[in-house]
C-alpha cells in the first residue's frame, strides 16, 4: 500500500531525519515530494539511491499527496496544513500549531495509538520533551497511579534547529581559541554553558512556553486532566539528545523490580542502569538511537513508604522526539 508522501521543511534538521527514518524503516513510498522555502529550491537530497530536487512550498504543492510530514515551524503549518488537507492529504505536524486543538489528536504511538481514529485530516506530533518523558514513565503509569511528575530537562541544541547545532559547534571552537563567541541563533552562548530554555516566559505563572507545553500535552495524551506536572526546562550544550531528571509521586507504594520487568514488554525504551560501575544513559551514546534510555531508577532517600521514585531518561530529540514519532504515526495510518 505505497503512499505519495511530502516532507515540508525537508532541508531542516528534522526534515533530514524524516528521510533517514523513512528509508531505514522501509516505509512504502510511491512518490516523495521534498518541500521547503524558495531559498532551497534546486538543492537535491538523497533518498535511498535517488537524488530528489527540493521544490518550493506552495498551497498547490499537495496535489495527489496522501501523507504530509510537516516540520517547518508553527507559522508554516498554520499557513499550509489546511491546503494539504483540502487536497486530500493527512498532515502529521511536528510543530506546536495544532497540538492543543480539541479535534486534533496528539499521539505517541506506544501510548495512545487509538486517538488517531478521531483525526479530521491533521494529527499532531507532541513536543520532544513530552515524548521522551512519557515514554520513560508510561510503564510505571500503567502500574501505579501517579499524582505528580516533577521533571527537569537538559535540552540539546537540536531542539532549536540545525542552525543552533552549527552555532554550538562554532561557539566551542571560538571558546577554545579565545575568540569572540557568536550568538546569532540562541540568545546566550551555549558552548560550555547552560541556560533556562529560550522560549518566552509567561510572566504571571513564571513558566516558559516549553514547560507549559509539557504540562498541557501530558494531560491531553494521557486523557488525565488531574495529573500534576511541574517542569523546569534548561538548554544545555549537547548536540541532539535531550536528558530528563524525573521524580514521580505515586498514590501507592512501588516495587522497583516490578517496574523494571514492566519495561520488557514496552517497545521503545531500554533500561541502562548499572550503579555498580556508575554507568547510566548519556546523550553522547543515545544520539542516533531510536529508543529512549532510562536509568538511575530509585526510591526517594527519605520516603519510607516507597511512594516517590526518581529516574533519569535520555532520548534523541530528532528521532523519537520528532521524526521517528511522526513516521510511526504514519505507519499507524497504513
Q: What is the pLDDT of residues 58-78, one digit of tens each?
A: 999 999 999 999 999 999 999
- Indicate the pairing of strand 50-56 with strand 44-47: antiparallel
The pLDDT, as a whole number, for residue 318 is: 97
Contacts of 67 (CB under 8 A, 6+ apart): 3, 4, 5, 6, 89, 90, 92, 330, 333
310 is catalytic: no
Q: Are residues 175 and 188 in the same domain?
A: yes
Percentage of the chain beyond pLDDT 70 is 100
What would the pLDDT profile of 90-118 be if each residue is shown by its tens digit? 999 999 999 999 999 999 999 999 999 99
CATH number (domain holding residue 183): 3.30.360.10
What would the pLDDT profile of 253-271 be if each residue is shown by its tens digit? 999 999 999 999 999 999 9
Q: Are residues 17 and 91 in the same domain?
A: yes
The pLDDT, as a whole number, for residue 120 is: 97
Residue 34 phi/psi, 5-degree rounding, is -105, 120
Q: Are residues 77 and 216 in the same domain?
A: no
If one counts the domains in the chain, the total is 2
- Rounded Cα distance, 263 and 271, in Å: 8
233 is catalytic: no
Q: Are residues 97 and 135 in the same domain?
A: no
Q: Are residues 146 and 268 in the same domain?
A: yes
Q: Are residues 12 and 109 in the same domain?
A: yes
Q: Are residues 159 and 213 in the same domain?
A: yes
Whether the model clears a pTM of 0.85, i.e. scores above it, the answer is yes
CATH number (domain holding residue 30): 3.40.50.720
The range of the structural domain enclosing residue 262 comes to: 130-317
Q: Are residues 137 and 196 in the same domain?
A: yes
Helix 209-222, helix 128-143: angle, nearest 10: 40
Question: Annotated catalytic residue: which of 119, 197, 233, 242?
Answer: 242
- Indicate the pairing of strand 3-8 with strand 50-56: unpaired
Q: Are residues 74 and 112 in the same domain?
A: yes
The pLDDT, as a whole number, for residue 1 is: 80
Q: Are residues 152 and 238 in the same domain?
A: yes
pLDDT band per the 50, 70, 90 thresholds, residue 42:
confident
**Residue carrying the nine cell digits 505536524:** 93
What would the pLDDT profile of 156-195 be if each residue is shown by its tens digit? 999 999 999 999 999 999 999 999 999 999 999 999 999 9
Q: Are residues 139 and 119 in the same domain?
A: no
Q: Are residues 112 and 84 in the same domain?
A: yes
Amino acid at each position: 500500500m505505497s503512499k505519495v508522501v511530502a516532507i515540508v521543511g525537508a532541508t531542516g534538521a528534522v526534515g533530514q531525519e524524516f528521510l533517514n527514518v523513512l528509508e531505514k524503516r522501509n516505509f512504502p513510498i510511491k512518490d516523495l515530494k521534498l518541500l521547503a522555502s524558495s531559498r532551497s529550491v534546486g538543492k537535491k537530497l538523497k533518498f535511498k539511491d535517488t537524488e530528489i530536487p527540493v521544490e518550493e512550498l506552495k498551497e498547490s504543492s499537495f496535489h495527489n499527496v496522501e501523507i504530509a510530514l510537516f516540520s517547518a515551524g508553527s507559522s508554516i503549518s498554520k499557513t499550509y496544513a489546511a491546503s494539504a488537507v483540502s487536497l486530500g492529504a493527512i498532515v502529521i505536524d511536528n510543530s506546536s500549531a495544532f497540538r492543543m486543538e480539541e479535534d486534533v489528536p496528539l499521539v505517541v504511538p506506544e501510548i495512545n495509538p487509538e486517538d488517531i481514529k478521531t483525526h479530521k485530516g491533521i494529527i499532531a506530533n507532541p513536543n520532544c520533551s513530552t515524548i521522551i518523558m512519557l515514554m520513560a514513565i508510561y510503564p510505571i503509569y500503567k502500574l501505579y497511579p501517579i499524582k505528580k511528575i516533577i521533571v527537569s530537562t537538559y535540552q540539546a541544541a537540536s531542539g532549536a534547529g540545525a542552525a543552533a547545532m552549527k552555532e554550538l559547534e562554532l561557539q566551542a571552537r571560538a571558546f577554545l581559541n579565545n575568540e569572540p563567541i557568536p550568538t546569532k541563533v540562541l540568545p546566550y552562548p551555549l558552548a560550555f554553558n547552560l541556560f533556562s530554555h529560550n522560549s518566552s516566559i509567561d510572566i504571571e505563572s513564571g513558566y516558559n512556553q516549553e514547560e507549559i507545553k509539557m504540562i498541557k500535552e501530558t494531560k491531553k495524551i494521557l486523557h488525565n486532566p488531574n495529573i500534576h506536572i511541574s517542569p523546569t526546562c534548561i538548554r544545555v550544550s549537547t548536540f541532539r539528545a535531550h536528558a530528563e531528571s524525573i521524580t514521580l509521586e505515586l498514590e501507592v507504594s512501588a516495587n522497583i523490580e516490578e517496574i523494571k520487568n514492566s519495561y520488557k514488554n514496552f517497545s521503545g525504551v531500554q533500561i541502562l542502569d548499572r550503579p555498580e560501575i556508575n554507568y547510566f544513559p548519556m546523550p553522547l551514546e543515545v544520539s542516533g538511537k531510536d529508543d529512549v534510555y532510562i536509568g538511575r531508577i530509585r526510591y526517594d532517600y527519605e520516603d519510607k513508604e516507597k511512594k516517590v521514585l526518581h529516574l533519569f531518561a535520555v532520548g534523541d530529540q530528532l528521532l523519537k522526539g520528532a521524526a521517528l514519532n511522526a513516521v510511526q504515526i504514519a505507519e499507524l495510518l497504513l
